[in-house]
């Protein structure tokens, strides 16, 4: 508490500095960055089992690791002529891995730690000393345990109608017809459902609080720069805005946690699971702050791309709508004129989970083609071997999902969206929810939310993709930009719009 208070005071002091003082600090940050870059240019390792270093690449060339990671890694693999190479980020060794053998070793090596990897290399998770950056293994284990409790069939069945309520309410704000930017409205909707499912009713029911939180999390994304990742302790402007946003998020979450624990009020929500288990406050705050990042961003991105693909591919939109209609007619008591949302809410969880082959294949193909993830780990065990190359204890390892998901031997014509692709049986050839020792712990909730909101949209709206300049379907369908490491938003903003019109009520066949 004292720590956070002190931190807030320090931030306040910085914010009130004169413009000149801020410029001086920023200039000295840049000077330090440049000198450290030159200091860090790596030397070759004489060990023959060590991966080759990128020769002729100094740290300035490695800034693209943060800005244009897909291009950087592709070019570097090509330049090195190897499937595994290493480079330096300041004093840290980072080993980049590709290929089937490297992938298997990367995913299954026990000493590789995801939390330590993300701490240095991601920079997009709010790091608040004592709250999120210093969560000990014991607290992380408790958070993971509570996350599985939040995804028992019983709890998910209770969340199911609430997710649909939120979806219906936000879609209602769009009106009966119009055009929306998919990458604005869809992440907003999934941020709301994530807040609903991973935090507290008091926040989820408060539109202003949700909007504020969304804006703060967006600030964290935009404030993540190479400098803020490499020198998180340095008061660069981006580091300051990131810290300010993190402290504000902390205050919102802390306020709700404190009120709930002190008032003894009982709610039917996920925070209550933590309260009932008498978890310590740092676990509660870490759970909400950390999982909102993990959950809302990835679910919002996947949902946005799923919507783009459905809007741009009428044949798949039709198949998905038929599946949603069939669920409604077979597993609910829907009659024309009834509320579609209420009917969907009455469909049992196990039907949503096990009897939606079209939705499953749509999600699978979306996660293959539009998830620009690079898995990051730190070797916290003894030296390990990946693809026959030595990974020293303490070094960092990265594996870009593009290596497998865009491999034309595994996926012919890899940039084409085709949910009818046969499932490849090669081990670890599809890792949309992770693989080996690290798989997504929120996937049950994420899949359910994606299916519910998509079904609602398909049944309540007619929609297609539109180029906002011409008002016509785009000549070329948007393609995921893998250099945008968080959302892979298409480069052309004009073609990511959806035109929609509310449908007449569905007839019962």
Q: Does 434 interact with ligand HEM (rule: CB under 6 A)?
A: yes
Which of 8-16, 178-186, 298-306, 493-501 is the region at the interface with ligand HEM (rule: CB under 6 A)? 298-306
- Shortest separation between residue 400's beta carbon and ligand HEM, angstroms: 11
How would you classify residue 90: left for phi > 0, otherwise alpha for psi between -120 and 50, otherwise beta?
left
CB-count exposure of residue 349 (10 Å: 0-12, 13-18, 19+): middle
- 404 binds ligand HEM per the rule CB under 6 A: no
Of 231 and 433, which CB lies nearer to ligand HEM in the complex structure? 433
Contact status: 103 vs ligand HEM (CB under 6 A): no
373/489 with CB nearer ligand HEM: 373
Tell me whether residue 244 or residue 282 sits nearer to ligand HEM (CB atom). Answer: 282
Nearest Cα neighbor of 338 from 119, 204, 508, 88 is 508
Q: How far apart are CA 486 and CA 294, in angstroms?
A: 11
**Is 291 a residue that touches ligand HEM (CB under 6 A)?**
yes
| Span of 21-29, 227-235, 436-444, 475-483 interacting with ligand HEM by CB under 6 A | 436-444
299 binds ligand HEM (CB under 6 A): yes
Is position 249 an interface residue for ligand HEM (rule: CB under 6 A)? no
| By CB under 6 A, residue 375 contacts ligand HEM | yes
- Strand partners for 497: 181, 466
Q: Which two tokens stand for residue 45?
A: 């390792």
Nearest to 498 by CA among 251, 183, 244: 183
Sign of CA dihedral 271, 272, 277, 278: positive
Tell me if 245 sits within 8 A of 219, measured CB to CB. Answer: yes
Q: Measuring CA to CA, which residue among 112, 116, 85, 79 is closest to residue 99?
A: 85
Residue 446 binds to ligand HEM (criterion: CB under 6 A): yes
Under the criterion CB under 6 A, does residue 244 sit at the interface with ligand HEM?
no
Kindly state the smallest distance separating residue 91's Cβ from ligand HEM, in Å.
23
- Alpha-helical segments (H) within 293-348: 298-312, 314-331, 340-345
* Strand ranges in 145-299 using DSSP code E only, listed in sequence order: 177-181
Which of 248, 373, 405, 489 touches ligand HEM by CB under 6 A? Answer: 373
Q: Is the dihedral of CA 74, 75, 76, 81 positive or negative?
A: positive
Q: Which stretch binds ligand HEM (CB under 6 A): 216-224, 276-284, 291-299, 493-501?
A: 291-299
Closer residue to ligand HEM in complex, CB, 107/245: 107
Q: Least separation, in Å, of the C-beta of 150 and ligand HEM? A: 7
> Which of 441/453 has CB closer to ligand HEM?
441
Which member of 42, 295, 372, 474 binds ligand HEM (CB under 6 A)?
A: 295
Measured from the CB atom, the residue of 281 and 364 that comes closer to ligand HEM is: 364
Indicate whether 371 belongs to the interface with ligand HEM (CB under 6 A): yes
Residue least distant from ligand HEM (Cβ): 442
- Residue 440 in the binding site for ligand HEM (CB under 6 A): yes
Q: Which of residues 133-172 bind ligand HEM (CB under 6 A)?
A: 147
Residue written as tokens 């800034």?
63
Spatial CA neighbour of 97 closest among 301, 369, 112: 112
Q: Least distance (Å) from ligand HEM to the CB of residue 289? A: 12
Give the bridge partners for 94, in sequence order.
87, 396
**Using rule CB under 6 A, residue 124 touches ligand HEM:** no
DSSP 153-194: HHHHHHHHHHHHHHHHHHHHTT-SEEEEEHHHHHHHHHHHHH
**CB nearer to ligand HEM: pick between 214 and 373:** 373
Candidates 174, 267, 433, 502; binder of ligand HEM (CB under 6 A) is: 433
Tell whether residue 307 is a contact of ligand HEM (CB under 6 A).
Answer: no
Q: Taking the complex as a whole, how short is the minimal distance between the CB of residue 143 and ligand HEM, in angstroms?
A: 8
Which residue has 């990128």 as its token pair?
54
Report yes or no: 497 and 465 within 8 Å, Cβ to Cβ. yes
Q: What beta strand segments (E) does 165-269 contain?
A: 177-181
- Give residues in contact with ligand HEM (CB under 6 A): 114, 147, 198, 291, 294-295, 298-299, 302, 367, 371, 373, 375, 433-434, 438, 440-442, 445-446
């Amino acid at each position: 508490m004292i720590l956070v208070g002190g931190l807030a005071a320090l931030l306040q002091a910085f914010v009130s500095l004169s413009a000149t003082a801020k410029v001086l600090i920023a200039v000295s940050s840049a000077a330090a960055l440049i000198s450290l870059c030159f200091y860090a240019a790596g030397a070759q390792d004489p060990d023959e089992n060590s991966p080759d270093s990128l020769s002729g690449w100094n740290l300035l060339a490695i800034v693209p690791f943060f800005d244009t990671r897909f291009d950087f890694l592709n070019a570097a693999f090509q330049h090195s002529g190897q499937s595994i190479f290493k480079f330096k980020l300041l004093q840290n060794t980072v080993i980049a891995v590709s290929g089937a053998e490297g992938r298997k070793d990367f995913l299954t090596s026990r000493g590789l730690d995801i939390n330590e990897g993300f701490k240095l290399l991601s920079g997009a998770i709010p790091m608040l000393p004592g709250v999120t950056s210093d969560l000990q293994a014991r607290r992380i284990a408790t958070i993971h345990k509570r996350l599985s409790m939040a995804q028992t069939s019983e709890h998910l069945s209770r969340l199911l109608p609430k997710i649909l309520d939120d979806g219906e309410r936000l879609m209602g704000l769009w009106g009966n017809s119009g055009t929306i930017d998919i990458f604005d409205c869809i992440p907003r909707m999934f941020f709301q459902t994530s807040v609903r499912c991973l935090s507290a009713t008091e926040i989820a029911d408060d539109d202003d609080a949700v909007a504020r939180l969304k804006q703060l999390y967006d600030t964290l994304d935009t404030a993540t720069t190479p400098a803020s990742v490499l020198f998180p302790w340095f008061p660069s402007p981006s580091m300051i805005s990131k810290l300010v946003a993190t402290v504000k998020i902390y205050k919102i979450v802390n306020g709700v946690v404190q009120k709930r624990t002190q008032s003894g009020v009982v709610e039917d929500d996920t925070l209550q699971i933590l309260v009932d288990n008498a978890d310590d406050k740092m676990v509660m705050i870490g759970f909400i702050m950390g999982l909102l990042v993990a959950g809302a961003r990835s679910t919002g991105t996947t949902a946005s791309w799923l919507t783009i693909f459905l809007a741009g591919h009428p044949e798949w939109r039709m198949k998905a709508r038929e599946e949603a209609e069939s669920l409604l007619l077979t597993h609910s008591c829907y009659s024309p004129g009834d509320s579609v949302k209420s009917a969907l809410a009455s469909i049992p969880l196990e039907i949503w989970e096990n009897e939606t082959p079209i939705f499953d294949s749509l999600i699978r193909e979306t996660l293959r083609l539009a998830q620009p993830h690079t898995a990051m780990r730190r070797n916290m065990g003894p030296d390990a071997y990946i693809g026959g190359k030595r990974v020293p204890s303490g070094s960092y390892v990265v594996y870009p999902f593009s290596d497998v998901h865009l491999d034309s031997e595994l996926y012919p014509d890899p940039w084409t969206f085709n949910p009818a692709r046969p499932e490849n049986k090669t081990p670890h050839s599809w890792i949309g929810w992770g693989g080996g020792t690290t798989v997504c712990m929120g996937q049950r909730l994420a899949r359910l939310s994606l299916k519910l909101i998509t079904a609602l949209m398909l049944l309540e709206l007619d929609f297609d993709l539109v180029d906002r300049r011409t008002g016509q379907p785009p000549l070329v369908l948007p393609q995921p930009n893998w250099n945008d490491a968080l959302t892979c938003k298409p480069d052309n903003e004009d073609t990511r719009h959806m035109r929609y019109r509310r449908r007449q009520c569905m007839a019962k066949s």
